Amino acid sequence: MDTLRQVRLVWKPIVFLLCLLPASLVVTDALEITGRLGANPIEAIQDRFGIWGLRFILITLAITPLRRITGWNWLVRFRRMFGLFTFFYILMHFLTWLILDQGLLLSAITEDIFERPFITIGFTALLLLVAMAVTSTDNMRRRLRRRWDKLHYGAYAVGVLGVWHYWWQVKLDAIDPFVYAVILAVLLTHRMWHYWQRRRMNP
């Protein structure tokens, strides 16, 4: 089997299932099979989906730098899948907030979205993810051409907004958001460095 077929037929399904694991653990913990969600299960569910969404956007943004460093071009075959899992986890995070936390109470939801900056930020990131998810098909990519590239630069914005959203909702101890911010900064710096290198070579 050549590498591309092996990626498509073997590695993609395996990685897909691995990406579903954090979500399945939320379910089995809720049923108290694999663990427990603790005294505040809604907060636990919401936090877990949120943190995995953040991890997936960082994984997605790490694909290109990794590919450039290692020369493993097949990595790019996983980028869309990781991007869509980012969307999936953030959507679950949002739905947990919308349905379980806010109980679909419209006044509370709109107040939170428009008056609480950290929720405004999170909601903006979600809207960007929706736009990228619905245009993620090959067909849409062909149809949108250069506009597609522009739209999908939104992935960087999602990374920044996501870390910001996380940082702002922490009461005091920002050590965890700080770690995510550092990883994001490294990934973005690598890209900027690469961009400047290219401009220097082809002015």
Q: Give 149 or 176: the residue with its C-beta nearer to another protein.
A: 176
Report the C-alpha gap between 137 and 190 in whole angstroms. Answer: 27
**Smallest distance, another protein to C-beta of residue 116, A:** 6
Establish how many alpha carbons lie within 13 A of residue 189's alpha carbon, considering only the half-sphere containing its beta carbon. Answer: 6
Nearest to 24 by CA among 89, 87, 83: 89
Report the C-alpha gap between 107 and 196 in whole angstroms. Answer: 47
Query: Are 74 and 4 a contacting pair, CB within 8 Å?
Result: yes
| Contact status: 106 vs another protein (CB under 8 A) | no
- The secondary structure of residue 6, as a DSSP letter, is H
| Contact status: 29 vs another protein (CB under 8 A) | no
| Contact status: 167 vs another protein (CB under 8 A) | no
**Smallest distance, another protein to C-beta of residue 87, A:** 24
| Contact status: 23 vs another protein (CB under 8 A) | no
Query: Using CB under 8 A as the criterion, which residues of the chain lie in contact with another protein when the complex forms?
Result: 38-43, 45, 100-103, 105, 108, 111-112, 116-118, 168-169, 171-173, 175
